Structure 1
Amino acid sequence: MNAPSSQGDCPTAGYSSSSPSGLRVQAVIFDVDGLMVDSEPLQTQAWDIYLEPFGHRIGPAEKALLLGRRVIESAAVLKSRLDLPGEPEAIVAARRPILFSLIREKLRPMPGLYDLTAACARLGLATAVASSSYADYVALVLRLTNLESRFAAVVTGDQVKSGKPDPEVFVRAADCLAVHPSRCLVLEDSPNGVLAAKRAGMWCAAINASPAAMRELSAADVIRPQLGDVIPDIVRWANRAE
């Protein structure tokens, strides 16, 4: 497979409000944090290490506020909420080596990830990554999981104007794949990500094993506990008669 294309190689995104109902899925778009890899505890730990000198930690309220956001938006939220010194860009830069060290040491793929990417390949589905995280971070995750060659396109949070729940990152990924949004399935684990996918006019499967998350993810077309559990749905949607 060719190297993944970046957002800069793609046409200008156009937003779609059409419903995917009844259409065959031709592409699968993957979120990264909490979906492909078990990185959200590491993201929180990196924030805690950064915040420790200022006497703060990430609590449940902060976790909920940051989930699915771009890192620059997360930094701005924490700066305002915790009265942190420095601009958001400086906060992101100072936290970056902390996060990367944790990722290199502790990152683990989510159960079913490799079965799912293999199933997409067998079905001939185009695949892309669309993440709120920055390009260098996503590149590191794909390298550590040996999945760099699995995705035809990668669009990241520093390549779009607006983060989730704005649909831009998903629509741009569809543009990169040359697949209409109504024929794309997004795999997400956060409410903001699910909302962004539906605003893009795409199918959405939410992957989350927590009963408490069911209400927040209810806009998704299906909710499954693990990545492997969505494979039968993808097979059905990819083979749908039109």
Structure 2
Amino acid sequence: MNMHLLGVALDMDGLLFDTERIYFQVGQVLLQRRGHTFTLELQQKMMGRIGLSAIGQMIEHHRLDDDPVSLLAESDVVYGELLLGELRPMPGLEEWIGRLKNSGLPFGLATSSRRKFVDQILPTTQWANDLAFVLTGDDVTHGKPNPEMYLKAADRLGVSPSQMLVLEDSGNGAKAAVSAGAVTVAVPNEHTQLHAFEDVHLVADSLADRRLWELLPSKSDVS
């Protein structure tokens, strides 16, 4: 398999950064203002979906009468206020990025997050300039679990989806990658460990899992 992998696509929320914790706080704020409670069950429904689709899950779940566009705007304000102060890398992130760079494979970001938030997060890293592409929720019509994001990622890499390794932390994201035909590895976090990860190649313990690292070729293999 190593010889067939020609590129890598990475999710961001819950995989590279512990933003799911921030999203949970945002959900709590929004729903407390409306006399409801944000639950893990609702968070699972929203994960991986792009802006209005995620907000639609919240509205449907609690039968809110809010306008989706207005509620999304309110959500953006709360998230933006929390983001940089609460942002934390996931365990093993820097080591994994180093291993990726040493592999010689091009790699990029395929996240459901809005572009404006990605543009705040990436400058805090040392590897933003190493990304071959950045796809956000603003770049697709259909969010995860639809495969559109990863079909576009393969196109940006110039490879077949079957030659692309995808890392995802959520069931919706993993389903999108599997449906696109990518070699999919699930890296669950505390919020997604009970998700179903059907047909993935591997369920890794973390970004530091050596089984994940062993999927990558060496630079000599790539050249």
Taking structure 1 as the reference length, the TM-score comes to: 0.83
Partners of 2:104 and 2:219 within 8 A in 1: no
Structure 2 residue 186 is the aligned partner of structure 1 residue 233: no
Residue 177 of structure 1 corresponds to 157
Evaluate the alpha carbon distance shift between residue 176 and residue 85 of structure 1 in structure 2; reply closer, same or farther with a 3 A threshold: same
Partners of 2:102 and 2:218 within 8 A in 1: no
Residue 59 of structure 1 corresponds to 39
Distance apart, 1:127 and its partner CA: 0.5
Aligned residues: 220
Partners of 2:185 and 2:202 within 8 A in 1: yes
Alignment of 1:153-168 (within 5 A): 153-168=133-148
Structure 2 residue 3 is the aligned partner of structure 1 residue 32: no
Residue among 128, 131, 137 paired with 1:148:
128
Residue 180 of structure 2 corresponds to 200
Residue 58 of structure 2 corresponds to 78
User: 1 or 2 for the larger relative contact order (CA 8 Å, sep ≥6)?
Assistant: 1
Which 5+ residue runs of structure 2 have no aligned equivalent?
none
Partners of 1:24 and 1:239 within 8 A in 2: no
Distance apart, 1:147 and its partner CA: 3.2
Distance in 2 separating the partners of 1:101 and 1:132: 19
Distance apart, 1:150 and its partner CA: 2.3
* SS of residue paired to 1:54: coil
* SS of residue paired to 1:176: helix
Which 5+ residue runs of structure 1 have no aligned equivalent?
1-20
Structure 2 residue 43 is the aligned partner of structure 1 residue 43: no
Partners of 1:24 and 1:240 within 8 A in 2: no
Taking structure 2 as the reference length, the TM-score comes to: 0.90
